[in-house]
Structure 1
Amino acid sequence: MRRIITAALGTTVAVTGIAGIAPAAQAAGGRVIVVPPGHSIQRAVDHARPGDVIKLRAGLYDGGVLVRKRITIHGEGNKTILHPGHRDHCARVKHPGQGICVVGRAKHPVHGVTIRNLVVRDFADTGVYGIHTDRLSVQSVLARNNGEYGIAEFASTRGHFRWNWTVDNADDAGLYVGDTANARGTVVADNHSIGNAIGVLVRHARHVMVHDNEIVHNCVGVALVDDSQRTGQGNTTVWKNRVSKNNRVCPAHGEVPPLGGTGILFFGGDHNIVERNTVTGNRGRLPYSGGIVLFRGTPPRNRPARHNLIKSNLVLGNAPFDLVDKSGSRTNHFRANKCRTSDPRGLC
């Protein structure tokens, strides 16, 4: 997995622009618009045409950037930093507190937005937020110290979240996919998720792929959650992740119970596959603590976790147990896992 946030964009030649925004020569697929530090990203977005690239130099920029067209926003890695500014443009579409918000409409998603190689930090809600999007791509982004989520996608399809770092996002998840009956193969891969409430959360969503992530020091590593909405949660594959020492304790808030010491947690969900993960050293004393833990879904329906496959995982050194099945169903299958303890006995 990539260990650093880097920037890579083809060479451009900027010409004189207005108010510090420099549109460059025609690039493949569109123009390149260069925004110097301290100038308005939002103004560049508003002037951009579909297919354009907005290139951010190293430096500080105001966030609260609203995107509703097919563009790329490309920084220079961890030297390009978006932080809360004087004006939140996301608030005017009723999504305040975001670093960058990509906002479409039901049945009219925003297609093909890319956010790449930058830092979003200290926002009240979420670093990079998408709702009603298709093919939203977030790559090599550091989302740090945001109040809710690091990088989140709601009611969207075919997202691509790769090589990101989500660190110390307070109340919810570092990486989130939810509220879609069919995410159509949204990918969450090769990320580092550290110090959040939940490392990766898939809630009320189907057809998501979560693989090759490093997920450590959260309250819960990976959570698959059926929250009682009609289409449930399922058909998600979680494989080849390192899920270790997720031993922080998060107090209850809203409808979320206290969490802590869990590697991979099912609250309901069906037809999920959890395979070839390394789940070690997740230790806690809460009802949901342990290595790979299956419980019923959340109220009011409390649907069982059913028809899930837990296969060929290395699950060791977790407490109170490596594997826990309190799913409310006998249809889950535990096969060829390397573990020592389970509740009930015989799952290893």
Structure 2
Amino acid sequence: MRRTFVASLSTVTVLAGLASFAPSSQAAPAGGKHHRVHVVRPGHSIQRAVDHARPGDVIKLKAGHYDGGVLVRKRLTIRGAGNRTVLSPGRKDNCKKAGVPGMGICVVGSPRHLVRGVTIKDLTVERFKETGIFGIYTDRLTVERVLAKRNGEYGITEFHSTRGRFVHNWAIDNRIDAGLYVGDIENARGTVVANNHASGNAIGLLVRHARHIKAWGNELVGNCTGVILVDDDQKGGQGNTTVWKNKVSRNNRSCAQHEEVPPLGGTGILVFGGDHNTIEKNVVTRNRGNLPYSGGIVLFPSPKGHPARFNLIKFNLVRGNAPFDLVDNSGSRTNRFRGNNCATSKPDGLCHH
């Protein structure tokens, strides 16, 4: 899953079904004829409850520890008891059967059959080899009040998915890639990433090879880079994303190059070749590094040299960043800088005084 900048995730093979298990949960009416609540207690199998649930049911997890590697392929709500409900690697990885091993919870559809309306909320996913919460070929996937920490690659992700909603989550110390990720979709149809906290990751929020995403109210602090919008030179590019009213500060960790991902460090918001993005009313402070793309808000060509074009950077507070608060090294004269409160820029004249 380390295809952060260049290659698209390959199509996942979805198996016809899993072996059935004897139920280990209690089912109770949920106020509707066809919707039930399945209560799962620590030491029991979440996967069994998922397999026996009908579309629209609720899987309710009590506080305690559970085996992860949970595969979801139908409309369900999985709801914990807050951070005291903890999923970590266990004896069986059901996600492996769908071709995506190493995930805490994986929501897996296919190009012709999206998994719609899954909600995951109020729980912790930690120490998985790949990703805490993973979605592929989903529609309206909601991840809310989830703590994703110390996972090997990503915290919370969706690939090839539309109308996602990632809100009020914490993505902390996910080692190699991004705390929050949206990618590989020509039109994400307004996927929302809002009011999350991401720290200790290589990238706080990564939008790659995707369009029509809205990111606001996030706190992206103490990563190698706060936000990256990247055109990885595949057909369709990256763009039409709004990054609005985020706090992006002190993203000064140093991440060495791995595979196709360049070294990262000391950048607040980085646009790598994207187009028609709007970066507005963010507070971007004290991001300091010595890489060519270090600084506060930085526009840079894509990995293969395609310019960042037609982006609008306006009304941001960008102070105390180094080597500059604003950098337009985009390779294009089509980007607009309007009303930004900053002290230094390259070239000169981008700041509003």
TM-score bin (small chain): over 0.9
The corresponding residue for 2:8 is none
| Aligned pair partner of 2:317 in 298, 314, 318 | 314
- Please say if residues 35 and 57 of structure 2, whose CA atoms lie closer than 8 Å, have aligned partners that are also in contact: yes
Letter in 2 for 1:335: R
Letter in 2 for 1:20: S
| Aligned pair partner of 2:78 in 66, 70, 73 | 73
Matches within 5 A, 1:155-194: 155-194=160-199
Letter in 2 for 1:290: G
Uncovered stretches (5+) of structure 2, i.e. residues with no partner? 1-21
* 1:242-291 residue CA offsets vs partner (Å, 9 max, x unmatched): 00000000000001110000000010000000000000000011111100
The corresponding residue for 1:344 is 347
- Please say if residues 23 and 48 of structure 2, whose CA atoms lie closer than 8 Å, have aligned partners that are also in contact: no
Per the normalisation by structure 1, the TM-score is 0.94
* 1:39-82 residue CA offsets vs partner (Å, 9 max, x unmatched): 00000000000000000000000000000000000000010000
After TM superposition, give the deviation of residue 92 of structure 1 in Å: 0.6
Letter in 1 for 2:111: A
The corresponding residue for 2:241 is 236
**Cα distance between partner residues in 2 of 1:20 and 1:232:** 46
Per the normalisation by structure 2, the TM-score is 0.92
Matches within 5 A, 1:85-104: 85-104=90-109
After TM superposition, give the deviation of residue 177 of structure 1 in Å: 0.1
**Cα distance between partner residues in 2 of 1:222 and 1:107:** 31
**Cα distance between partner residues in 2 of 1:322 and 1:30:** 53
**Cα distance between partner residues in 2 of 1:266 and 1:237:** 12
* 1:162-190 residue CA offsets vs partner (Å, 9 max, x unmatched): 00000000000000000000000000000
After TM superposition, give the deviation of residue 32 of structure 1 in Å: 0.3
SS at match of 1:209: strand
* 1:114-170 residue CA offsets vs partner (Å, 9 max, x unmatched): 000000000000000000000000000000000010000000000000000000000
**Cα distance between partner residues in 1 of 2:94 and 2:124:** 18
Matches within 5 A, 1:209-288: 209-288=214-293
The corresponding residue for 1:22 is 26
Distance 1:19 1:157, change over 3 A: closer
After TM superposition, give the deviation of residue 19 of structure 1 in Å: 4.9
**Cα distance between partner residues in 2 of 1:119 and 1:26:** 24
**Cα distance between partner residues in 1 of 2:284 and 2:224:** 14
Letter in 2 for 1:270: D
After TM superposition, give the deviation of residue 26 of structure 1 in Å: 3.3
Matches within 5 A, 1:33-48: 33-48=38-53
**Cα distance between partner residues in 2 of 1:295 and 1:19:** 54
Matches within 5 A, 1:1-16: none
| Aligned pair partner of 1:324 in 323, 327, 331 | 327
The corresponding residue for 1:50 is 55
- Please say if residues 186 and 211 of structure 2, whose CA atoms lie closer than 8 Å, have aligned partners that are also in contact: yes
* 1:276-316 residue CA offsets vs partner (Å, 9 max, x unmatched): 000000001111110000000112xx211000000000000
**Cα distance between partner residues in 2 of 1:229 and 1:50:** 36
After TM superposition, give the deviation of residue 27 of structure 1 in Å: 3.0
**Cα distance between partner residues in 2 of 1:297 and 1:239:** 22
After TM superposition, give the deviation of residue 20 of structure 1 in Å: 3.3
| Aligned pair partner of 1:31 in 36, 39, 56 | 36
- Please say if residues 281 and 314 of structure 2, whose CA atoms lie closer than 8 Å, have aligned partners that are also in contact: yes
RMSD of aligned residue pairs (Cα, Å) = 0.8
After TM superposition, give the deviation of residue 108 of structure 1 in Å: 1.2
**Cα distance between partner residues in 1 of 2:130 and 2:334:** 38
Matched, 1:130 2:135: yes
Matches within 5 A, 1:186-205: 186-205=191-210
| Aligned pair partner of 1:296 in 294, 301, 305 | 301
**Cα distance between partner residues in 1 of 2:85 and 2:292:** 42
**Cα distance between partner residues in 2 of 1:147 and 1:126:** 7
The corresponding residue for 2:15 is none
- Please say if residues 111 and 137 of structure 2, whose CA atoms lie closer than 8 Å, have aligned partners that are also in contact: yes
**Cα distance between partner residues in 2 of 1:46 and 1:64:** 13
> How many pairs align?
329
SS at match of 1:90: helix
**Cα distance between partner residues in 2 of 1:307 and 1:38:** 53
